[in-house]
Structure 1
């Protein structure tokens, strides 16, 4: 049986900073249509909940980047890995999830336990332009400040290749994470040029 690290986790055990951010997010939440979440990384293929609706959507003003250091899930203290985040600037296409109102609060709390365990992300309610013409929806997304110690900054190709070759964590390798992200995006008709280039670089070096 695979151990679920969230099974025994409690909100009150999170850092005070993470708890304060949850309270702020709940104050800003318009609950009329349930919880709206913007997924751009692992939440796309492993949301951990059953959305009532899934739409392709675009966020303006933020872009997806494989720039967040991972010391547990996709790497280790000895060999840090990388996972996705949203950085300011540009735009990002991803998935907009709508959670049914009756499931929304429990889903939000579970996501907080998953994403905010160390309080690295900056949760924001962002405007998401839906691809099906339904207009703009306000959705919660986990962003990152470039002042965060978790941001790795610009990565030279040789450094990225070293990480993709060696980084492994609780849920697998950084390379597998990148591959899953590109595959999932393609399945939804989304082609992220930066990620496609990084994956092509890995393949060209036999990874």
Structure 2
């Protein structure tokens, strides 16, 4: 057993938080990036849950794969499990990912557990935007989380049309709200 790989599809891509020796663009087949996890702490509350990213079945997902030296395996796996498995909404799996250079490697992936109470299911763009809009948790506004994720993906030259469509709906709603508030003489600052 040698070095191992970790697949990132969300914040792990721009904030991995662990040592690695190589980063490669990668595609995971059979799963897609989706706002399919109800957030009750960081981006919402139990009364007004928000949505955060998960890997859900179907399609494929472009992300980043990180190569980790064997000698750091225990340390990195402990870190990942503490970060990703807090509420057990994600399942740890070893799945094949195709790197940009054509290599296929086995990578640690965290996929959503569809049986978990926090699983929100497969949502249409409008439904996802409606849930995200107005949800706030300990880490801030859910809209900020989604818009930031889309910006980070764009910076990595990764297109996710579904996420971009959700972001457009959020921005359009924000523009409408700002226009309405200006018309009534109130500020849109929160």
TM-score, normalising length: structure 1 = 0.78
Q: How does 1:52-63 map to 2 (within 5 A)?
A: 52-63=21-32
Alpha-carbon distance between aligned partners in 2 of 1:127 and 1:154, rounded to the nearest angstrom? 23
1:189 is aligned to 2:157? yes
The match for 1:3 is none
The 8 Å contact of residues 146 and 167 in structure 2, kept in 1 or not, is answered as yes
**What are structure 2's unaligned runs of at least 5 residues?**
176-190
Deviation at 1:43, TM superposition (A): 1.1
Is the 1:56–1:188 Cα contact (8 Å) retained in structure 2?
Answer: no
Instruction: Report what 1:32 is aligned to.
Output: 2
After superposition, residues 47-196 of structure 1 pair within 5 angstroms as 47-133=16-102, 135-155=103-123, 159-196=127-164
Q: Which range moved further: 83-92 or 177-186? A: 177-186
Shift of 1:44: 1.4
Q: How far apart are residue 55 of structure 1 and its match?
A: 0.8
Cross-structure match for 1:22: none
SS in 1 for 2:43: coil
**Structure 1: 5+ residue runs without aligned partners?**
1-30
The 8 Å contact of residues 32 and 60 in structure 2, kept in 1 or not, is answered as yes
Between 1:141-150 and 1:109-118, the stretch displaced more is: 141-150
Q: Secondary structure at the match of 1:150?
A: coil
1:131-185 deviations in whole A, cap 9, x for unaligned? 123x101001110133322111243555433433221222222212211221121
Q: Is the 8 A contact 2:126 2:169 kept in 1?
A: no
> How many Å separate the matches in 2 of 1:60 and 1:90?
6
How far residue 102 of structure 1 moved from its aligned partner, in angstroms, is 2.3
Computed over aligned residues only, the root mean square deviation of the Cα atoms, in angstroms, reads 1.7
Change (3 A) 1:158 1:59: closer
Q: How far apart are residue 108 of structure 1 and its match?
A: 0.8
Deviation at 1:106, TM superposition (A): 0.5
Aligned residues of 2:23 and 2:65 also touching (Cα < 8 A) = yes
